[in-house]
Amino acid sequence: MLGITGSIAAYKGAEVARRLMDLGAEVHATLTRGGAQFISPTTLRSLTGNPVTVDMFADPQEWQVKHVSLARRAAAVVVAPASANAIAKLALGLADEFIYAVALATRAPLVVAPAMNDWMYQHPATRQNLETLRTRGAAIVEPETGRLASGAIGQGRLAAPEAIAAAVVAAAVPGDLRGVRVLVTAGPTREPLDAVRYISNRSSGRMGYALAAAAAARGASVVLVTGPTALSAPADCEVVAVTTAQEMRDKVAARLDKCDVLIAAAAVADYAPEQVSRGKMKKSGESLTVTLAPTPDILAECGARKRPGQLLVGFAAETEDVLANARAKLKAKNLDLIVANDVSRPGIGFDAADNAGWLLYADGREVEIPRTSKAELAAKVLDAVVELRRGREGCAGG
């Protein structure tokens, strides 16, 4: 939950939102009346894909539900930039605008990034209000020293968006994968037919990228092997770009023994043309027959090579008999966990922002996941990975 208040640095709130989204977060933004003087709700709505609240009394019935529901869902409440007025209201527990009501109603960590004139920042009232927030557990991202809106040089400039995003991660995300080496595959593969044409699928790579970003945020050392996508590389991940199924197989095989967890979210082509034309095939007006040959079964190879203690997580994108097919894949490929989803359903799966499905464990447990964002599904998958690792460590220790 991102609150943008009445500071000239309000425009940087959009960049804070973007940095958080790059880390896999779902961002809900709200503007105070002062914040709305500097940046428009339309900008934030277009960026985050979620409604933006300015006047919490515009629809009182909706507010009564919304401020509580968002407060309960939030992994963190972030006020950036936080003006001197905003800091005072947070310290006093006032709730005359939406972000302050959320801050009172939540149990999530609070991150405050001040931005104001340097004299205002150094004023005893502001210093005392910040200390009050600190004693309550809030994380304060100190402003930078530099040229301010007044033209003076002093401390009061909003911290860099990446520093704010890092503070949010530190406050909100468990470090339960710290030191764990995670290998993630993502995106589609492209199997060339000639110099300009290829066979591929509808995968956008969003699920794999969300998993990589979330694992890195939880402290893991992440390698992302990705097919062609239009996505920005997640922060703090080593990115290995590939095109074909064979290239993905080679890159994964070279890194498998060095990883503790493999999460195979890529939509790898099952078949590739046997013959590839060096140039562009010319249209002749006659039928064209293409013979396809099977591509390497990357996940099956990894399952056969799995070493003790290593976890393998797969995905089963199905259009019929979803659970039966996923159970068969889980067993056949020696996986510890598989995420099954019905990609024939509109609005989830391939090239969509949301997903839904089931987590199927090798021990027979099956957990249904209702429709949710891919970032939230990534968090649930990693929760399951942490649980499985702890279970194994407990057995080893016993």
Work out the number of other CB atoms within 10 angstroms of the CB of residue 397: 6
Query: Quick one: tokens of 211?
Result: 């998993």
CA distances from 73 to 66, 314, 359 (A): 10, 27, 21
Work out the number of other CB atoms within 10 angstroms of the CB of residue 221: 19
Q: For residues 91 and 35, what is the distance between their CA atoms, to the nearest angstrom?
A: 19
- Positions annotated as catalytic residues are 201
Q: For residues 55 and 241, what is the distance between their CA atoms, to the nearest angstrom?
A: 45
> Which residues does residue 94 pair with via DSSP β-bridges, in sequence order?
none
Q: For residues 339 and 288, what is the distance between their CA atoms, to the nearest angstrom?
A: 37
> Which residues does residue 156 pair with via DSSP β-bridges, in sequence order?
none
φ and ψ at residue 116, rounded to 5 degrees:
-170, 180
Amino acid at 215: A
Strand bridging mode 198-199 / 191-192: antiparallel
| Angle 138-86-93 from CA coordinates, rounded to 5° | 65
Closest CA to 375 of 153, 216, 137, 163: 216
Work out the number of other CB atoms within 10 angstroms of the CB of residue 35: 27
Is residue 335 within 8 Å of residue 316, measured between CB atoms? no
Closest CA to 295 of 342, 243, 343: 243
